[in-house]
Amino acid sequence: MQYNPGWNNSSVNLLHVRAVGPGDTLHYIWSSIGAPAVLLVATASRSSALRINWTQLLSPAPAGAIWIDPPSSVVYSAAVVFTKVFEYSEAKMLEELFYPTYDLSDFSWESINHTLNHTALTAEFTGIPATDPSGSFSNGSVAFRVTAYEASGRDRPLPSLLHTANSSKVEFVLAGVAPRGNGSRFVLEVATVEETGVAQKLRSVRSIDDEYTPTIFEMLSLVAESQNDSSTLSFLQWKATAYGSQTPRREDGIQCRSRGLQAANWTLPASSIVHAYFGEGVGSTYTISAINISFGGEDGKVYQEKRYLSWSALLGFGQPPKDTFSPLVISIMAVALGTPLAMLLVGSCMVLFAQRKRYSEYEPIN
């Protein structure tokens, strides 16, 4: 993990996470320059390196300021941008009353240098609006917590996401922000940037097993598929829940819904690292998709009471991890289904044996 490689000023944040495999390298470039975003770049070289022209990156025209050396080693690249936070409440007749939008590209972000943990492979981007007329952020903030992984495993805190070494986690946290209405609900807008020939698809998988995330039976994945061979290139995966506590428990769950995936026909908000890497072709040569993820219960009062919301998602390369039944659940199912079947077989055998014994005492008349 490298913080602002080649730049000694901590007034801006750029975090480079580099994972080297047997014959390839995965690059994650996180930044809060402009809207918070992450570049995902996979290369076919163990020695590929990130290059940054900092003067150009921080200029009004950053196109071409970020590249991977050698450029020929890049086999896939994409970006995920966290663009806006919406706040709304339901008025009469089920109408939604929206308040002024929080544009994350207009936020002021603290230096992540003091949160960077090279042992735990974590960092935290924390920000507040540059201007806050309503005073909602007087005691609050928005944060994006980043975690990298060296091996496969499962997170301990809920929602206990299953991860691999090809993935990283991002946690969106809304803490202490005063809601502007009774029963306010919040929506996070997430945009993706993909190369031509790659399409985004939203998948929903339901399971009867909620062993690791109690009461949550749905997993959602936003996958990038190649239109040529239908192979999955990258993903953003999350459980259909958020939590209202720093130490989440089942009772702290907050309802999480996804409001459809759409092709974005609007201009991507200022995100310097996206334009710096993809150039001016964003929105023409490269396609932009967007999805809204909303948080709030039926009455919308969960956040009102606790003033805390956290939502975790996994992102990475290749197929998203798939949960399978653990040995414990398989054993329970075997006992639950096997015991009645065994009793039925034993009972049938006893009835047949009793009937045979009963009629075996008689001799035929003829």
| 117 domain-assigned | yes
Report helix, strand or coil for 55.
helix
> Considering the domain boundaries, does residue 196 fall inside one?
yes
Nearest CA-CA partner of 89 in 196, 198, 179: 179
Q: Indicate whether 110 and 240 sit together in one domain.
A: yes
User: What per-residue confidence (pLDDT) applies to 14?
Assistant: 98
CA atoms within 13 A on the CB side of 33: 25
pLDDT at 138: 96
How much is the pLDDT for 87?
94
Judge contact between 277 and 79, C-beta under 8 A. Answer: yes
Write out the two tokens for 135.
């005073």
Distance CA 226, CA 274 (A): 21
pLDDT in tens, the chain (366 residues): 999 999 999 999 999 999 999 999 999 999 999 999 999 999 999 999 999 999 999 999 999 999 999 999 999 999 999 999 999 987 666 678 899 999 999 999 999 999 999 999 999 999 999 999 999 999 999 999 999 999 999 999 999 999 999 999 999 999 999 999 888 899 999 999 998 889 999 999 998 888 889 999 999 999 999 988 888 999 999 999 999 999 999 989 998 999 889 987 666 766 789 999 999 877 678 889 999 999 986 555 678 888 999 999 999 999 999 877 556 556 665 666 767 777 888 888 888 877 665 555 566 676
Assigned domain for 239 exists: yes
Query: Is 355 found in the same domain as 312?
Result: no
Same domain, 230 and 339: no
Question: What pLDDT is stored for residue 208 in this prediction?
Answer: 84
My answer on whether 218 and 351 are in the same domain is: no
Residues 231 and 358 in one domain: no
Q: What is the rounded CA–CA span in Å between residue 119 and residue 238?
A: 25
First to last CA, the chain: 96
Q: By the 8 A CB rule, do 19 and 26 touch?
A: yes
Q: What is the largest CA-CA distance in the chain?
A: 112
Q: Name every residue whose Cβ is closer than 8 Å to that of residue 161 and which is 6 or more positions away in sequence.
A: 154, 155, 169, 237, 238, 239, 312, 314, 321
Pair (211, 150) in one structural domain: yes
Q: Are 70 and 45 in contact (CB under 8 A)?
A: yes
What gap in Å lies between CA 87 and CA 312, rounded to an integer? Answer: 19
**Nearest alpha carbon to residue 317 among 168, 144, 146:** 168
pLDDT of residue 224: 96
Residues paired with residue 171 on neighbouring β-strands, in sequence order? 145, 312
CB 245 within 8 A of CB 306: yes
pLDDT at 346: 80
Residues 291, 356, single domain; the answer is no
Residue 73 carries which DSSP code? G
- Do 261 and 175 share a domain, yes or no? yes
- pLDDT given at position 173: 98
Statement to judge: residues 336 and 310 lie in one domain:
no
Q: How far apart are CA 7 and CA 52, in angstroms?
A: 9
Q: Judge if 267 and 164 occupy the same domain.
A: yes
Of 317, 341, 357, which closes a domain? Answer: 317
> Hey, what are 8's tokens?
């000694």
| Residues facing residue 96 across a β-bridge | 90
Residue 267 lies in a domain: yes
Determine, yes or no, domain membership for 34. no
Distance CA 164, CA 258 (A): 24
Quick one: pLDDT at residue 356? Answer: 64
Question: Within a domain: residue 14?
Answer: no
Domain presence at residue 25: no
Predicted TM-score (pTM) of the model is 0.88
- How far is Cα 52 from Cα 245, in angstroms, rounded to an integer? 38
> Residue 110: which of 140, 143, 84 has the closest Cα?
143
The number of folded domains in the chain is 2
Q: Do 341 and 293 share a domain, yes or no?
A: no
Please give the residue range of the domain that contains residue 335. Answer: 330-365
Residue 325 resides in a domain: no
Strand, helix or coil for residue 356: helix
Do 223 and 348 have their domain in common? no
